[in-house]
Structure 1
Amino acid sequence: AREVGMPLKMARAVQVGGPAWHWANFAKVARNFEWEKKVGNSVVVREAVGVVGCITPWNFPLSQITLKIAPAMAAGCTVVLKPSEIAPVNAMILAEIIHDAGVPAGVFNLVNGTGPVVGEVLGTHPQVDMVSFTGSTGAGKRVSELASQSVKRVTLELGGKSASVILDDANFEAAVKGTVSACMLNSGQTCSAHTRMLVPASRYEEVRALAQAAVARFSIGPSLDEASKLGPLVSAAQRDRVLNFIRIGIAEGADVIAGGPDTPATGKGYFVQPTVLGIKASDTLAQEEIFGPVLVVIPYRDEEDAVTIANNTIYGLGGAVWSASDEHAVKVARRIRTGQIDINGGPFNGSAPFGGYKQSGNGRENGIYGFEEFLEFKAMQFKPSAG
């Protein structure tokens, strides 16, 4: 709550409760994993990839650290972590916990610093076998470029512009409320946030009223205030970036459904009003990752048009489909190129694979899927016995 600005109640559950669950789950995954398998005259074994360089962001700092170092260590790797210089304290506390738990020296290593300094060293160092990176798509491209020089394994969890598609037969009140909540989590500083709400053009005015009602429920306030539902952004630079995007949207003719660029009267902190803008699919805000509490509403003509709009992005990380039936929602969801899709408000599953298509990255995190990213295959062939 102090480092990132997520309200305390949510921070307990999401920023700390989630990582604690993942540490226990990766231990369980490792215990139950099939490390060797007979395949014909071969024995296929799984082995640790080696030394892993982990570079993590500030928005869900302890979660992103956990989703890398916990499975890597459980797989038998050693790790070098470079946490975000914007939110490094949680990593230092975690290092103390790991030390107190008796983990041997050299298994977990913490190096604080900036991406251009420490991150570039991890990407190029000849004794680093793999780099696991979470952050912006631009920085991810740089990591891939550096790692390619020594052909390291690279996993990337990058940006997103996830679409929440509300079909004409959906429960609109539940769908709009759920989409607004999925967008505003962590003040919108979430790579998989549902930041595009696609709605039937014929029902735009209905959606407009429902969105206003949903946004009104978000009380803005300091992160340490138990009553706050929307905290400040992480920095002045991030606040200014988000406000600039809002102004761009308005300049391009956006319908201001809620919020806007005016600073809320909440005292100290980098606050931005929860904002909803009605835009066209061709507008800037339909493509750019804003990383703030900004939801855009895009009307569509029919389901074919909705799928086209949903896929018209360089990203493919998250998303949602809302319908009167799961079957109808799944039919549309299968056509959307993205790594995770919530069907009618389905909750996050920490054991399911998390990661993206296209420029949202490669590789997966969570559960056995994230665990296997840190393993190599080795096949040992045996001469068949006579007869």
Structure 2
Amino acid sequence: MKLIYMDYAATTPMDEEVIGAMTQVMRSHYGNPSSLHRVGVEAEKLVQRSRETIAAAVGVLSSEIRFTSGGTESNNLAILGAARRYRSRGAHLITTQVEHASVYEAFRLLEGEGFRVTYLGVDETGAVRLDELEAALTEDTILVSVMAVNNEMGRIQPIEEIGRLLKSRPRTLFHVDAVQAVGKLPLQPKGWGIDLLSAAAHKLHGPKGTGFLYCREGVELQPLLAGGGQEDGLRPGTENVPALVGMAKAVRLAVERQEAFAAHTSSLRRKLVERIGTLEALRYNGSRQSGEMAPHIVHFSYPGMKSEVLVYALEQQGVCVSARSACSSGTERPSRVLEAMGAPYAAAVSGVRLSFSLRETAEDIERVCEALTRVARELGSVTAEPQKGRRS
């Protein structure tokens, strides 16, 4: 039985071109970029070229790209670094109830340091309400952090509109967790008023343990680590040159393929959502409006059935999916995201995420649909309430 991997929002297989680029660097360029001799200088040139490639792909200056170990570090550096650096301006921060754990827990940490945090709710599709954000802003608000695409649900947030709202507030920084958006959806950090933007290579067929943070020129951050002067002192430590080259290649390829990615995955998504809608036991989560959901993520619940049971049952059918997000799966707590959307407990503990890429075919998705049908039929209707409050 061919295994169908449907967990691309958790991580992606590396692209062959990325592997080739990294292999060449590992074989030929072993120098420390901080060394002054020729071997070090050659390595430093590769680091700088990678920075320039990523900057060009996302439309920013190369001097505004900071390399990190991934999305979690990028988010922590942006949030903790900005809040602590600009505390003299105020102590109020705004984020949402549906952020990735690396954002949500960073704000919880700052609450322990005396900051006041407003956690915005979302509507039943998972979207932030702009009027509630505007009402939450105060003269002491120094940072707003809203993700571009929810990693669990796939809901696209109104980032451009939020940037426009904050345009008249130069003392309030705007951070965007774009881990699920870079290379998949249009992003304009400069045009949308974004000050800080996080990304990770392994969501884009690049290497794990590598990411970047866009930090707008003029924005200062307090470092999380002490040590050397790499990344302008923000991220000390010897650079992982092969991984940075691989990330640059992955980002460039993803942006080049972005239009094809959106068209292809949107078609696959429609088929999955249609099939879920025919299965009485399943509850689709999210918006049905065109353009409001990321094209590569579909989320549903089976109220009354634990999500881990569904994950196992689908794997027996040759389909790999996630229970919630990879960073929170394995727990029996209800999904924080689904709860914020107003889902009942039975639905909030039974969420399943399917995510895919350019590599999946229509035939693959048909097999996934058949697997969903078989699993729903074999597990049976375990509750009389799945149809109540179904998303429309």
- How would you bin the TM-score normalised by the shorter chain? under 0.3
Alignment TM-score, normalising by the size of structure 2: 0.27
